[in-house]
Structure 1
């Protein structure tokens, strides 16, 4: 799946935001080490924006910024032949073409760039006026990493996270608390300890606030 297929599979923006927030909370509960968490969500990215972030620890990453103008996403697969690092620090042809002006600030965000070039092999967006996700006229797409980077977002099901987490964290998990979090129900002590017996809701208060997830 390249970005050309990804824009056809992504759910509605509200679902992308909800799933992104849920992924961040689940990883927060399951993983006590901030340095090795896969998913984060910053409800205070700016005065008007929220951001979903992923870092896989092996050089893969993505950022999805939610603003009043819509949603803008970058993905980066460090092994992709489309990486700027193997193309003289130039974006892949077509990758950044046709981006609406309302997203220029997100396109040029320094946090997602290296020497002025976006750290990206995938780029997509959707304005509030769009009825579908968009991407640029990317030329000769070659293993851009969209499939692995955005699979959980495109899938949108709690079952997909269960499979991922059991493999990544090497633990057996129940599906029901994951479903609960995916529904953005207020987090409770029972849900937290059902996912991780070592974690307590009171210890997560500040991080939950940063994610913008509801508490009981």
Structure 2
């Protein structure tokens, strides 16, 4: 049985598994590494860690790997959306709440959250109430442990990992989060086939759309 190893952005937790389940070639074994901020995997790849496919939460990381000749291709597989999520029944007013969000220095959705706060003129009101996490898992934990009242998170993560529909979609006031994947292996035929399935298949797109992409 051939193996395909995938390093995966955390906002695909619970989603990439469903895409894999719908991949027709059942002779392939998949090794998933998921949970860390995707910058961790990017740095690992630069240092020589071997994966066949890297699913990033941004576009620059995948493109840079191609430029460095560490990947043979990079393609857009999803366009992510930001939301406000709370463990409470009603989304709190963010101008007075403790707010959790991904670290904008390392996380694309954190950068998008900062853009939203700046463009909606809310940053001056909330800048002293911001709490940061390295990944969506850390951000959601701040809310679940009642350290923060509301969080900026990818819709995909809320619907898949948290299995919650108590969120407010933020459609505007930030640049869309374009997510690209990189094909790292040059000689794994099954990795190439799955890469193509992820990018081009109708079923893959249906699954991604169902989780808010």
- For the superposition of Structure 1 and Structure 2, which TM-score range results when normalised by the shorter chain? under 0.3
Higher relative contact order (CA closer than 8 Å, sequence separation 6+): 2
TM-score, normalised relative to structure 2: 0.27
Higher strand share: 2
